[in-house]
Structure 1
Amino acid sequence: MGEDEAGTARAVRQHREVALPIVTGRGGRIVKTMGDGLLLEFPSVVDAVECAIAIQKLMVERNAVIPAARRIVYRVGVHLGDVLIEGEDILGEGVNIAARLEGICEPGGILISGSAHEHVRGRIEVAFVDLGEKALKNIVRPVRVFALGTGAAAPMASGSAKAVAGAPRLSLLVLPFANMGGDPEQEYFVDGVTESLTTDLSRIRGSFVIGRNTAFTYKGKAVDLKQVGRELNVRYVLEGSVQRGGQRMRVNVQLIDAESGSHLWAERFDKPVADLFDMQDEIVARLANALEAQISAAEARRAEGVQNPDAMDLYFQGLASMNEGATPINFDQARAFFVRALEIDPVNVEALVGRATADAWCAGMFGPDDRLTRFASAEADLTKVLSIAPGNAIAHAAMGTLCNVTNRAESGIAQFERALALNRNLAGAHFGVGHAKYCLGRPEETGSPHSRRAPALAA
């Protein structure tokens, strides 16, 4: 304001106008404005928290092209409680608690009260950090406070003993792929791969992928990947190139740790040119699956060095154990990690799905003495997950697997098809449909697109 009062006021107004559709789209309303602040009211605390997350992610994208000294960054506090209504205004301790949470929040972060957390945990796909009870100004009793890891910032209350260090888990930037051949006619294909990969990676549960508009501001530029990681607060950067030579197309990609600049993984996709759109779909599907596995493995390696792992640290270590190979030892080790995660967070959706998957596969493949108990436990876990997160594609795929190994292949097909409607790149679901049809005595149908696609995606 001191440097440019009119410009700052204009920027505040523009940010507010862009965010308004996010608010109204979730049933919220602006109760009043207070300088550069807003008081918002929602009919549902889930809508309120999802709105806060969406706005903070929007601000990351809008600020990416603005010099650091001129960025406007929000703090958000969310509380669930009673209010007094006076005309269009709302008053009372419920409003005051939300305001106090906003006051102690780090810029770019979101803090929610314990009462809000009780209603949103397990229903919103973000990590929560328990900051303990906080004494808030003019609030009689201490309030339990939770920070959200949203990808907008590392939100934590000042002085917190348990803070989130660095960029959020599963945070990623897909840089625009380079057109190595320089042929302008290939540019649409190259950009299409980048955009489709950005979209598909954003379907990974709990991920935060920088949006297309922000990513394309780096197109054609030589960038310092560590600096980009710091600017956008992401852990991983994916860069790649596309080159066409005659009737062959080659795609190179590499995944980089944005904090250290080290290479984590590289892949080359090389095949004859066919239909470009089919090629794009195949390339994106293969890369999305491989990247999810590689990023999960990287998160597991990070978690090994954490002194006091949280539920998600343990989940990633369990996932890594399961990905080591289908053996009883690996499944049991993975299950132990998922159980520890659930002891910390009993409604952690990822850990519930992980435990169910380990139980279903181990019981179905190796027939241990307690196989019926494992089947029952897996069904209970997945039923619980789908009751609180019906759009969880991995849970539907896991339920399909459970149906297949318990002689319910028809139900399995329905579950796999639902999973693929939510995430078309689930290699296991493609395979599961073919396996179910084989079990039903319909081998002639196992040559369907599902079964043809599964090996390529799982490779």
Structure 2
Amino acid sequence: MVQERPPRVERRLTAVLAADVAGYSRLMHNDEEATHAKLTALMADAVAPAIAEHGGRVVKNTGDGFLAEFPSAVEAVRAAVQFQTRIKELAAADAEERQIVFRVGINVGDVIVEPHDIFGDSVNIAARLESIAEPGGICISSSAYVHARGKVSTEFADLGEQNLKNIAVPVRAYAAVPNGGRPAIRGDGIGPSTRSPPRLSIVVLPFSNLSDDPAQEHFVDGVTESLTTDLSRISGSFVIGRHTAFTYKGKPIDLKQIGRELNVQYVLEGSVQRSGNRFRVNVQLVDTETGSHLWADRFDKPISDLFEMQDEIVSRLANTLNAQLIAAEARRAERSLHPSALDLYFQGMARWNKSWTPGHMMQARSFFARALELEPDNVEALVSIALVDAALAGIVFADGPYERFAAAETASLKALSLDPQHATAHMALGIVQLCTRRAAQGVAECEQALVLNRNLAEAQALFGAAKLLLGRPAETETCVQEALRISPRDEGAHRWMYYVGLAKLHLGDDAEATEWLRRSLKANPNYPVAHFVCAATLALLGKMDEALAARKEGLALDPTFTISRLKKVWLSDDPIFRVGSRRLMKGLHLVAVPEG
């Protein structure tokens, strides 16, 4: 019997153009019918004629955009420039908040062809490039740039290698420079952009080797390269690739000019110096628009294992910069009259990092919820809502804790369905599982988070919380010390120290518990639960005046806190954990925390 051949899959090399409307959800929310009518008119009057004129075809409409293909990258770029220009003219009379503006991504690659659609990585890359383009902008891949360069009148700015969502290999990207942009400064024929830099955009310049020993050059370059990789993991970050960054090595540096050439908001620069058996690393973060120094720090480390030390320096820098960049972007976002989903995310994170009082946490949650209204599939907002709900249930002990745990699990699972490799989403799911008596599963999720992001110190600290829930409080401190080694100045360090303080209370070591809890409150005094647990340990030690003062500070931050609210959340069935929890309850009763 002759075996039938499988049906042949048709493929072809094509230029793929993906486009969508910036802020479409907001526009539809404000006025559905008018938005739909305007979009239909723009497609007919501007988009369709440009595509047809340049030999392309619209493969499909996507509700808020469309997918098209062209036999030539040159024609795809020309069509995009033509309809973007025409749309700008047609929308000029509209108020800014009502304008319909497209973002465009173009890629050249091999696709699977079906009668009414095309599929494959090449299509996905075009869509991801569109997502990083600015409203009214065009972003193309290096494969499209190779074909279009020198054949179109539009200039492009090199954006470096981009880590695109769900695309395994970084993609080098280029952004179209509007007419009137300055001529190229660098000798590669790429014009600097006159657009506003992307949010959270940064270049890590090659660190300077201040040592007399040229042999240390490889270590210095290694720090620069590792930082570039690790900073790209920051939520929403846009990091210039190391190959572009290294073109500045050994050259005189004007940071404002670099900002214009690379179209980035921030520059991280630094130096490494060896002195005897120690290394000193100096770093500073600079705003390229103003030239102001936003943050600077120095790291002194002994020379033992050179590469282990490099990893530690890089992880500490990456964790610290994450918080610094988010704070800076949140300040910018506060000035925006029409905040984007990313603006709202930054503002929510700033409140999340500032204080864990119920009021601040609900404010943070409201920003993340508003971001989801604009972009229902925004992974960062989904993960952040999961973290807030889990914390409100498991640490603040808000009303309806298990409803919040369920909501947190739903949000984290949706985030993982959209981005299975999102480290913090795995961690968020792990937190929910740890707090709902699924400790083994929670530990596995936190382990996966660390596989995906070795610098996620919060996940490392959660192992300490897991040890406590599993009835092994003596092991909590070791896990937290490792998290503090990775990120000693982390925004979450106060929570990690709280875990140790609580573990020490469970062990009956109330004096040491008090020390850890005081360290936690010194790191962040706006942490109500630490005040209450500190009050309990002081009461168990017989220091009632200090205990009452700690209770008063806790109630000032969270007047609704009660013992009954705490009892509603039973985090573990382990008998050792339950004995330790009874010690906590005893201390809370001694200091007269409201029963509720």
TM-score computed with the length of structure 1 as normaliser: 0.69
Does 1:257 pair with 2:250?
no
Question: Structure 2 vs 1, CA of residues 262 and 319 (structure 1 numbering), >3 Å: closer, same or farther?
Answer: same
Q: Is this contact kept in 1: 2:271–2:282, CA < 8 A?
A: yes
Q: Which amino acid aligns with 2:482?
A: R
1:103 aligns with one of 57, 82, 86:
82
Measure the CA separation in 2 of the matches of 1:361 and 1:78: 50
SS at match of 1:366: coil
State the number of aligned residues.
356
Does 1:369 pair with 2:399?
yes
Question: Structure 2 vs 1, CA of residues 369 and 40 (structure 1 numbering), >3 Å: closer, same or farther?
Answer: closer
Measure the CA separation in 1 of the matches of 2:298 and 2:57: 46
Q: Which amino acid aligns with 2:278?
A: R
Q: Is this contact kept in 1: 2:195–2:263, CA < 8 A?
A: no
Q: Highest CA radius of gyration, 1 or 2?
A: 2
Report the equivalent of 1:414: 444
Q: Is this contact kept in 1: 2:177–2:195, CA < 8 A?
A: no
1:351 aligns with one of 381, 395, 399:
381
What are the residue-to-residue correspondences of 1:249-328 with 2, within 5 Å? 249-328=279-358
Question: Structure 2 vs 1, CA of residues 128 and 191 (structure 1 numbering), >3 Å: closer, same or farther?
Answer: closer
Question: Structure 2 vs 1, CA of residues 129 and 225 (structure 1 numbering), >3 Å: closer, same or farther?
Answer: closer
- Report the Cα offset of residue 406 of structure 1: 2.2
Question: Structure 2 vs 1, CA of residues 152 and 98 (structure 1 numbering), >3 Å: closer, same or farther?
Answer: closer
Report the equivalent of 2:13: 30
- Report the Cα offset of residue 445 of structure 1: 5.1
Does 1:338 pair with 2:331?
no
Q: Is this contact kept in 1: 2:301–2:309, CA < 8 A?
A: no
Q: Deviations over 1:181-235 (max 9, x none)?
A: 2311211111111111111112223322111121111112221000001001111
Measure the CA separation in 1 of the matches of 2:59 and 2:178: 19
Does 1:235 pair with 2:281?
no
SS at match of 1:231: helix
The ranges of structure 1 where at least 4 consecutive aligned residues each deviate by more than 3 angstroms after the TM superposition are 77-80, 96-106, 123-131, 149-158, 442-448
**Aligned-residue identity in percent:** 52
Measure the CA separation in 2 of the matches of 1:169 and 1:279: 31
Q: Which amino acid aligns with 2:338?
A: N
SS at match of 1:264: strand
Report the equivalent of 1:173: 203
Q: Deviations over 1:94-122 (max 9, x none)?
A: xx99973353358xx96169x99xx979x
Measure the CA separation in 1 of the matches of 2:57 and 2:419: 22
Measure the CA separation in 2 of the matches of 1:352 and 1:268: 35
Q: Which amino acid aligns with 2:13?
A: I
Q: Which amino acid aligns with 1:421?
A: V
Does 1:81 pair with 2:53?
no
Does 1:428 pair with 2:458?
yes
Stretches of structure 1 that go unaligned for 5 or more consecutive residues are 1-26, 32-38, 47-76, 83-89, 132-148, 159-163
Q: Deviations over 1:243-279 (max 9, x none)?
A: 1111221111000011111111111111322211110
Q: Is this contact kept in 1: 2:274–2:280, CA < 8 A?
A: yes
Stretches of structure 2 that go unaligned for 5 or more consecutive residues are 1-9, 20-55, 62-68, 86-101, 107-116, 137-158, 163-171, 180-193, 490-596
Measure the CA separation in 1 of the matches of 2:11 and 2:383: 32
Question: Structure 2 vs 1, CA of residues 251 and 415 (structure 1 numbering), >3 Å: closer, same or farther?
Answer: same
Question: Structure 2 vs 1, CA of residues 91 and 420 (structure 1 numbering), >3 Å: closer, same or farther?
Answer: closer
SS at match of 2:60: coil
Measure the CA separation in 1 of the matches of 2:57 and 2:382: 27
Question: Structure 2 vs 1, CA of residues 129 and 172 (structure 1 numbering), >3 Å: closer, same or farther?
Answer: closer
Question: Structure 2 vs 1, CA of residues 233 and 335 (structure 1 numbering), >3 Å: closer, same or farther?
Answer: same
- Report the Cα offset of residue 444 of structure 1: 5.9
Measure the CA separation in 2 of the matches of 1:248 and 1:326: 38
Measure the CA separation in 2 of the matches of 1:221 and 1:401: 47
- Report the Cα offset of residue 127 of structure 1: 5.1
